[in-house]
Structure 1
Amino acid sequence: MFPKNWDLIRIQQEIAYVYEKTVSKGVGKLTRNPNDLFNGFLGTSTSGFDIKIEVDDLGNIMNAYPKN
C-alpha cells in the first residue's frame, strides 16, 4: 500500500520517477517467469521505498505498486 499521506498526484509522480530511472534505461529488470503477463522492473521512490512497475512489450505501464 502506498503511504496514506500520498494523494493520487504524488503516487503518479513517484511511479513516473521510478519509470524514468528503471524502465526507460533498462535498469532494474526482474526475471520474467513463464506465467508473468508483463515485464517487471523494481526501483526506489524519492522517499526510499521500492516500487514494482509492470510494463507490456511496448513499455506501457500496466501495473505499479509498492514492494515490501
Structure 2
Amino acid sequence: MPTHDLAPGTWRKSSYSSGNHNCVEVATVAAGTGVRDPKLGAASPILAFGRGAFAEFLGAVRGEKFCA
C-alpha cells in the first residue's frame, strides 16, 4: 500500500504505547494501516500494511517473534 493512501487517516497513539516516549502512532484507512514514530511527526517514515498484512504483523508481535 502506498503511504500517500494514509493521508486521509487520523493518526492516534497506540494504546499499547508506554508513557516514556517509546510509542508509535497508527492510522487506519480502507486500504490498510500505517505505523509511524510520533517523535518525528509528519517527517516520520511510515510502515504501510495492507489489511491482511497488518493482522499478520500484530500476530507476530503478540507472539513475541521480534524479541531478542
Please indicate, yes or no, whether the TM-score normalized by the shorter chain is above 0.5: no
TM range (shorter): 0.3 to 0.5
- Which structure is larger by alpha-carbon Rg, 1 or 2? 2
Greater share of helix: 2
